Each structure stands twice: as C-alpha cells, then as structure tokens.
Structure 1
Amino acid sequence: MTRARVVLWDFDGPICRLFAGHSAERVAERLVDWLEGRGLHGLLTEPERESLDPHVVLRAVDRRHPGSDLVAELEERLTKEELRAVVSAWPTPYADPLIRTWTAVGARLAVTTNNSPRVASRYLEGRGLMACFAPHLYGRTQDLHLLKPDPHCLKRALNAMGSAPGDALMIGDTPSDFLAASAAGVPFLGYARNERKEKLLRGVGATAVVGSLDVVLKVIRRQG
C-alpha cells in the first residue's frame, strides 16, 4: 500500500454498493424479460436465466452474437439501469476519506471496472470525488470479451498513467478483479465486506484481504 504510486479501484464494491437500493437481481430479470419479449427465450440457458446477475446475461448474449446490435442494445439497457442505481448507491465505509487521503499523499487513482464508466463518473461527481480520478475511468465498452478477468482495463489505465505494473496496486472485491490484476502483473488488495466475499477471493489465490477500508486508511494516514 505505501509503495503504490498508482491505485486502480474496482468500482462496485470497494467504492460503493451500486445496487444497494436498486436490486441487481431485478435488473437481471428485466434484461431476461426484454430478451424473451423479443422472442429470444432460447438464447439463454436455464442457469443463465436464473443467475440473477446482469453481467452473466450480457456476457451470454455476447458469446452467441458478438458485436451485434442486440448486444449493443442490451448493454445500453444495463447502463441505464446502472445509472438509475447511482441514486440509491451506498458509499463503502471509509472509501471517501481513503480516496481523498491517498490523493493528498501523492498517489494517482483510476477506476478499472466492469460497470459503465458513465456510471462511475456520475457517482464520483455526486460525491465530490471526481477530481481524485479524472480522467482515468476505464470501464465496460461494447467489446465485452475484454471485461475482467481480462486485464484490458487495467492495462489501459497503466498505459495512460505511464505506470509500471509493479508501481501500482489494485483494490477489488471479486475473483475476476484478482485474476485481472494477476494477469496484468499488478499487486492486489482484496476488500471483502463479508465472509462469503473473503472465501471467494482466497479461493482464487488472494492473500492480502481486508474486511474494512479503515485498515488501509490508517496505513495511508501514517504515510502522510
């Protein structure tokens, strides 16, 4: 943490709980309903329909119709749902002061997320945090095969910021975050707000995991 000159933040989890008041499960159901309304019930397998994860639905359609207008429209629908969710998103405890403190001691910050960068931008602007990150927001594009665990968004951030992987740190809360960081050669700090999250992170090999960002904030404040 103290050696990191660049900090790459996943968005939904470490910075906020995006779907705290706008259920991700309901969003997934709406995407499935929209597909079925277009006569595309058979496009998804039963496990994909029942996953209650909007990204599972989006990736599944992209695998079968990569680069299609269907995928583009589905992605835009998900982005609009994410934008609606910003209004009721919950800030992750200690994230705001940690972001400001890390910036104050000279670290450069970026968002590397599977959510739309438009969503991250709207949330950060609402919290008065955009200046800590801008212009380095790297998120979902219509090239859905490049979502994490692919390291594409991390590499974009590193290249834009002129940083070597070893001078950076990624903070994430999912196995795909850890795998993307590993593929990019970036040290990883896991954030796990509950035991289930911690078990998933440690299950893919994450060794540095904290249950609260307060731990990180105390370290960075000592550094300052």
Structure 2
Amino acid sequence: MLDEETERLHELIGPVRFVLFDFDGPICRLFAGHSAEDVAKDLVRRLAGLGLHGLLTDDERRQPDPYVVLRAVDRRRPRSDLVEELEELLTQQELKAVASAWPTPHVDPLIRTWTALGARLAVTTNNSPRAVHTYLTSRGLLECFAPHIHGRTQDLRLLKPDPHCLRRALSALGADPKSALMIGDAPTDLAAARRAGVGFLGYARNPRKARLLRDAGGAALVSSLEPVLRCLRGGRR
C-alpha cells in the first residue's frame, strides 16, 4: 500500500507531461552565499547616490527583498532608464550569486528523471534568465530545459504573481495547462499557476515557507523533493 503522501503525489504527478519549475527555491538557493538583503541594500544605495533617496518610503528602504525595491521604483518611474539600470544591477548580482548557489537537495536527479520519462520542462521565474542559464549550465542541466527559460523582462509589471512567464512557457511548449504542473515555493508562484490554469506543487524547505503557502491556499506541499523523485522512479501502481 502507498502511504497517504505518496498517494497524493501519484494523483498529482500522474497526468503531468509538462513541468514548470520556479528557479530560486525549487532548483537552488540562489542567495545561499550572497545575501539577498545585501542586494536590496545595493539598490537602495544606488538610488541614494543618484539623489533619489526619497523615491522609496522608509519601509521600502528597510526591505530585505530586492524585488520590493525594484517594484517600488517601477511603480513611480515605470519603464524608465532608472528601472532599466536597477534591473541590470540586480541581474549582475544574481549572476554573481550563481557561483555560491546551493542546489536544492534531490532536484538534479529529479530533473533528469522527469526528462528521461519524456516530460518537457521549463523554468518560469522572476529571476534573470541569464542567471538561470548560467546556473543550469554549471550543473549540466541546461539541455533538460533549453530553450524554455522564461524569466524576468524589463516590464516588471509582468513578474509573478502575473502569469505571463507561465503562459509564455505553455505556449512555447505547446502545452495544455491541464497536463502541466508548476513547482514553486512562494505564494506568488501559486497565484500565477492558478491564473494560468496549471496544477501546483509547493516546495517548502522550512516551516515559514510552508505556512505562507498554506495561508495562500496551497494544498499540495512537500518539504523535500525526495518523495517526488521516489514517486517518479517507483512508477504508478
């Protein structure tokens, strides 16, 4: 007999033919050795250096998340040279972080196993596609995804929870959303998957992540990708 968790995974994964991975979280911890908070501070310092300290609220300046800073600037200076400059600065920091990123346990064999079983994979992320490409190349995983890497564009309104990158992936893959699954670790991933009509599996590496996903309505959660890999390798009953 399969245990309850494995049974749920079989039901969720069985019909899947297309898998959309978020990047930072399910594939790796991008800022494991390169603090995202430091990146946010770099963006704030750049604004101050340009004499634009007042463009952010006090709360926004204290945020440890660079995306909060970037989105705030984009709301006030949409599609401006300033937003383009800050987005490129973030991209350079993400590229730098790749060298010290930690692979998510079990994800490399999971990616290779799903590919070997005939699933088609894509990355759908708010990170720079250049950083994703660099990381996947370093792990020998690029061929499992290329050319289906759909990341941040300079139109920041299209970041998740907007489903834009998921819809781009589905279109490029020729995929029916009903046969696709997204693996993500944030409520924004869950919201984007729902809006794209795609199934969702939450990866929560700690209780805080799990709580955020549950509060957002995420029903299918795993704290490790190992049972997903085991489910694929064991096959269906």
Q: Report if TM-score (shorter chain) is over 0.5.
A: yes
Contact 1:191 1:213 in 2 (8 A): yes
Residue deviations 1:8-42 (CA, integer Å, cap 9, x gap): 00000000000000000001001100100110011
Percent identity of paired positions between Structure 1 and Structure 2: 68
Contact 1:100 1:132 in 2 (8 A): yes
The structure with the largest alpha-carbon Rg is 2
Gaps in structure 2 of 5+ consecutive residues = 1-12
Greater Cα shift, 12-21 or 1-10: 1-10
Residue deviations 1:53-108 (CA, integer Å, cap 9, x gap): 10000000000011000000000000000000000000000000000000000100
**1:131 corresponding residue in structure 2:** 143
Match of 1:36 among 23, 48, 60: 48
* Cα separation, 2, equivalents of 1:2 and 1:84: 38
Contact 1:109 1:133 in 2 (8 A): yes
Residue deviations 1:194-218 (CA, integer Å, cap 9, x gap): 0000000010100000000001000
* Cα separation, 1, equivalents of 2:235 and 2:130: 32
Residue deviations 1:139-170 (CA, integer Å, cap 9, x gap): 00001000000000000000010001111000
TM-score (norm 2): 0.94
CA RMSD of aligned residues (A): 0.7
**1:187 corresponding residue in structure 2:** 199
**1:71 corresponding residue in structure 2:** 83
Read off the aligned partner of 2:57 and give its amino acid letter. T
**1:168 corresponding residue in structure 2:** 180
Gaps in structure 1 of 5+ consecutive residues = none
Q: Secondary structure at the match of 1:26?
A: helix
Contact 1:2 1:219 in 2 (8 A): no
Q: How does 1:15-94 map to 2 (within 5 A)?
A: 15-94=27-106
Match of 1:147 among 159, 164, 175: 159
**2:111 corresponding residue in structure 1:** 99
The aligned length equals: 224
TM-score (norm 1): 0.99
